[in-house]
């Protein structure tokens, strides 16, 4: 709001000064008005430049922060292999790019300010020359000359400041529009259970194009309510990407993903769709808290869920049992235990559609068999990505879909 207030105050100074100059001599007011109009039009030449520079420095800042986040997440691995040179060089590269964008933005603003200041000085000189001429012609008194010089400074400086503040507002207009477009009202559905109304998932002509030119395309697929589907394929065939597209974490560049009932497409809150990632997130708190997501009403269900995912044997080894604190710094849980907690979380929250991405990869084969047996006998719709499953585990599903380079190589009823 400060630039808006300043624009108002400077504009008021300019208008009132021009009115007073009119009472001295109409030619002073006319010349001041002409200079004012030119001063206001002049910054239009720099408006697009400053706006683009602001957008560019924001994008580079975003890129820098993303780069920092990605490298920080792997600091432990870099330390293990003493690979700090690549860490430093990558961050230095991102920082240098950001610095260049920031310098360019500063240069653009500085050029605009210099041009405005130069015209400001020129305008004041012209006004003083006109005052001198009018004085020697006997059209104004000496006091009016001195007052006009003071007011000319007020007018021209006021215009310069007004333009500077206005450029500040205009330079962020495009950025504000982008931010507004990204902002969405977060609606948390309570007790609506829209996922229970889904009769079928349909995937039609789906594809995702990456900036580097690569693309993944998918065949038309359908998954019906209650089905247990195993998604197979080599690394890089787009299995995890397919899940992210279904869950709305990525936007497809072509095609359509629909959750439908007997009446047609449903508008489903993606948060109601269950998702178990291979590297699921745990939080500081107890094992119970991480299963219930800090909802004490689900504590009793959590105790049942740990048995369903074969976590009860692990918990019995901890003195505090299910109340054992998850220590993210000391990493007091194994990879398999973490995956069981994430699976238990999905079960406790009773989602009717569950997508599991390598959710048992760190769990031993016997425990995996027990977990899948319990999962697959529920009425949930389950789509699971897995590697190296035995025939026994594969045959536990209703059917399998094998992806090859983003295409379904085969889809078999089992």
Out of 1-5, 43-47, 318-322, 371-375, least confident range: 43-47
CB-based contact 28:22 (threshold 8 Å): yes
Residue 352 pLDDT > 80: yes
Residue corresponding to tokens 């700090």: 84
Contact call for residues 382 and 372 (beta carbons, < 8 A): no
CB-CB neighbours of 202 under 10 Å: 15
Of the candidates 234, 25, 41, 49, the one whose C-alpha atom is nearest the C-alpha of residue 147 is 25
Contacts of 77 (CB under 8 A, 6+ apart): none
Contact 223, 201 (CB under 8 A): yes
CATH 3.90.650.10 fits 194-413, yes or no: no
Q: At what angle do helices 142-171 and 44-73 cross, to 10 degrees?
A: 40
Question: How confident is the model at residue 405, as a pLDDT?
Answer: 66
pLDDT at position 266? 83
Q: Which residues pair with 412 in a beta bridge?
A: 400
Does residue 385 surpass a pLDDT of 90?
yes
C-alpha distances in angstroms, 137 versus 28, 131, 133, 142, 376?
14, 10, 6, 12, 102
Supply the pTM of this predicted model: 0.59
Choices 3.20.20.70, 3.90.1150.10, 1.20.1560.10, 3.40.50.10490: CATH for 2-182: 1.20.1560.10
In tens, the pLDDT along 244-280 reads: 999 888 899 999 999 988 888 888 877 788 888 888 8
Question: Cα angle vertex 21, ends 141, 137, to 5°?
Answer: 35
Strands 264-265 and 215-217: what pairing? Answer: unpaired
Domain ranges of the chain: 2-182, 194-413
- pLDDT, residue 191, reads 47
The tokens describing 344, both together, are 């238990």
Residue 309: phi, psi to the nearest 5?
-100, 15
Q: How far is CA 381 from CA 197, 252, 354, 369, 384, in A?
A: 12, 23, 6, 18, 10
Q: What is the pLDDT of residue 287?
A: 93
Mean pLDDT estimate for the chain: 83
Q: Which of these, 226, 230, 193, lies nearest to 379 by C-alpha position?
A: 226
| pLDDT tens digits, one per residue of 24-36 | 888 888 888 888 7
* Distance in Å from the first CA to the final CA of the chain: 65
């Amino acid at each position: 709001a400060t630039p808006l207030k300043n624009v108002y105050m400077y504009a008021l100074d300019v208008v009132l000064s021009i009115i007073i100059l009119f009472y001295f001599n109409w030619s002073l007011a006319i010349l001041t008005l002409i200079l004012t109009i030119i001063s206001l039009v002049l910054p239009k030449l720099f408006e697009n430049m400053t706006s683009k520079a602001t957008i560019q420095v924001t994008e580079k800042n975003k890129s820098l922060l993303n780069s920092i986040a990605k490298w920080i997440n792997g600091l432990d691995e870099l330390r293990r292999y003493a690979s700090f040179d690549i860490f430093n060089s990558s961050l230095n590269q991102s920082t240098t790019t950001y610095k260049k964008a920031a310098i360019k933005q500063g240069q653009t603003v500085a050029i605009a300010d210099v041009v405005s200041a130069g015209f400001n000085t020129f305008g004041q000189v012209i006004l003083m020359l006109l005052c001198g001429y009018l004085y020697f012609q006997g059209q104004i008194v000496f006091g009016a000359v001195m007052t006009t010089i003071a007011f000319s400074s007020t007018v021209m400086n006021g215009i310069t400041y007004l333009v500077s503040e206005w450029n500040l507002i205009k330079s962020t207009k495009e950025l504000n529009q982008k931010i507004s477009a990204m902002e969405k009202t977060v609606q948390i559905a309570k007790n609506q259970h829209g996922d229970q109304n889904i009769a079928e998932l349909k995937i039609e002509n789906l594809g995702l194009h990456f900036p580097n030119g690569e693309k993944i395309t998918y065949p038309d697929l359908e998954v019906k309510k209650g089905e247990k589907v195993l998604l197979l394929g080599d690394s890089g065939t787009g299995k995890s990407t397919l899940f992210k597209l279904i869950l709305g974490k990525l936007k497809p560049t072509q095609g359509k993903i629909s959750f439908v009932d007997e009446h047609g497409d449903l508008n489903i809150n993606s948060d109601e769709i269950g998702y178990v990632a291979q590297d699921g997130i745990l939080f500081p708190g107890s094992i119970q808290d991480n299963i219930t997501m800090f909802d004490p009403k689900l504590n009793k269900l959590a105790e049942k869920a740990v048995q369903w995912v074969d976590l009860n044997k692990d918990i019995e080894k901890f003195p505090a049992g299910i109340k054992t604190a998850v220590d993210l710094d000391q990493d007091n849980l194994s990879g398999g235990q973490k995956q069981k907690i994430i699976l238990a979380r999905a079960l406790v929250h009773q989602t009717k559609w569950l997508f599991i991405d390598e959710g048992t990869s760190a769990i031993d084969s016997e425990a995996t068999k027990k977990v899948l047996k319990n999962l697959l006998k529920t009425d949930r719709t389950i789509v699971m990505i897995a590697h190296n499953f035995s025939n026994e585990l594969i045959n536990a599903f209703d059917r399998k879909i094998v992806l090859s380079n983003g295409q379904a190589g085969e889809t078999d009823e089992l």
